[in-house]
Amino acid sequence: MNISGLYAIAGSYRNDKPVERMVEAAIKGGASIIQLREKNTSAKQYIERATRVKAITDRYGVPLIIDDRADIALASGATGVHLGQNDLPIEFARQILGSSAVIGISVQTPQQAIMAQRQGADYIGAGPVFPTISKDDAEPPIGIADLYDICHAVTIPVIAIGGIYSYNATEVMGAGAAGIAVISAIFNARDIAAATAELIQAMRRNT
């Protein structure tokens, strides 16, 4: 599967915006991958939301990635899972989800990226590139130079994440990223679809 473009990370952190509506708007704006990221949520709630979001992503033929939980990914029929460095190791997620699943992992260094590729990751999430307001336990920002090194250390796609907006998306793509993952830039906007389309324009300016 081609992992590139605008990777939109939706979740129920905005209770003024139902997650299904957020996802549909991002897809209408051109998002090519959706991640459902629920924190402090029971497994019961996570699977319920994943099932509802899967109905939307299926309608538009867009892949759905579940954050952190291979069990929720499997049960919901999602395309794959996104893992952190302290989550289930890739080999075990692969055992659960099988060879056709898409497995991504967050990295902060080229060494972690090389290791992830060796372990069979399908893509890498690299960041935070810039300071972010969306992750309480975020690592320090890696910056554009480290992003460049990560992108050029592996052959699997690198999706850049953290503090990315239309004003810095062009330089992020210039560092060699295959795509950009965002929360705030699109989901804090009043018009999610328009903000998504604007960000995609900014990404393409360089390529």
Binding residues (CB under 6 A) for ligand TZP: these are 127-128, 132-135, 138, 161-164, 182-185
Nearer to ligand TZP, 63 or 128 (CB): 128
Tell me which amino acid residue 181 is. Answer: A
Between strands 33-36 and 158-161, the pairing is unpaired
Between strands 102-107 and 179-182, the pairing is unpaired
Q: Is 122 annotated as a binding residue?
A: no
Token pair 């033929």 in the structure block, residue: 61
Q: Are the CB atoms for 65 and 81 separated by under 8 Å?
A: yes
Residue 68 C-beta: closest distance to Mg ion, Å: 4
Of 9, 11, 55, residue with least CA distance to 35: 9
Residue 60 C-beta: closest distance to ligand TZP, Å: 22
The single residue among 38, 68, 171, 198 that binds Mg ion, judged by CB under 5 A, is 68
**Sign of the four-CA dihedral 48, 98, 69, 80:** negative
Which of Mg ion, ligand TZP, none sits in contact with 161, Cβ below 5 to 8 A by type?
Answer: ligand TZP
Positions marked catalytic: 37, 106, 135
Q: Which residues contact Mg ion (rule: CB under 5 A)?
A: 68, 84
Per the annotation, where are the binding residues?
35-39, 67-68, 87, 106, 132-135, 163, 183-184
